[in-house]
Structure 1
Amino acid sequence: MSTRTPGGDIPIRRLDRILAFMSLGLAVLSIGCFVAVIIARPAGVTDFTEGLWPVVALLPLIALPVAFLMIVALLIMTFVRRARANRGN
């Protein structure tokens, strides 16, 4: 069992919220674009070189790894902050 720190919970910083919401937004946008490409191929959209389709097809390749790295950075920052708070008590 873990023990609670006497000082209470650690406050959530603005940077933590920004990273969390940006990573969530990128992941949702990437999955939406991935689903759009999956639906567009059987629907007959064979030319993915015109219009907005190149961006829609390329976005999941870039945004999902970036979202994953942002989540990892958020976890590392949280663990470091909690370790510093526990060390100070």
Structure 2
Amino acid sequence: MTTNSPADPPVRRIDRILAFMALGIAIVSVICFVAIIVSTALGMGHADYQVGIWPVVGAFPLFGLPIAFLMILTLLIMTFIRKGRAGRP
């Protein structure tokens, strides 16, 4: 187990929320992507993907992955700013 040195600022709640939300959105997006691939491979390719839950399953990776990427980028920028401010005299 690592401990924070005195120069390291504590992890804030918003950082944890952003990290877990980005991870959750990315995982759900990948699961939806795999579901489309598997359903096509199992012969459901001729099925109508315009009805039921399939439009949501198809659209989630299109929006979820970029949102998760932006959340991770925001988290990195916030961390760099926080560590930069902590390092100032």
Class of the TM-score when normalised by the shorter of the 2 chains? 0.7 to 0.9
Partner of 2:52: 51
SS in structure 1 at match of 2:50: coil
Structure 1: gaps spanning 5 or more residues? 1-5
Runs of at least 5 residues in structure 2 that lack an aligned partner in the other structure: none
Report whether the alignment pairs 1:34 with 2:46. Answer: no
Root-mean-square deviation (CA), in Å? 1.2
Give the whole-Å Cα distance in 2 for the aligned partners of 1:8 and 1:73: 22
Identity over aligned pairs, percent = 55
Dislocated runs of 4+, deviation >2 Å: 6-9
Letter in 2 for 1:48: Y
Match of 1:16 in 2: 15
- Give the letter for the 1:70 counterpart: M
Mapped to 1, the partners of 2:25 and 2:6 lie a distance apart of 35
Q: After TM superposition, give the deviation of residue 19 of structure 1 in Å.
A: 0.1
Comparing 17-26 with 42-51, greater Cα deviation is found at 42-51
Task: Kindly state the Cα deviation for residue 43 of structure 1 after the two structures are TM-superposed.
Answer: 1.7
Deviations 1:24-44, CA, capped at 9 Å, x for gaps? 000000000000000011222
- What is the TM-score when the length of structure 1 is the normalising length? 0.88
Counterpart in the other structure of 2:73: 72
Amino acid at match of 1:44: G
Q: Distance in 2 between matches of 1:50 and 1:65?
A: 25
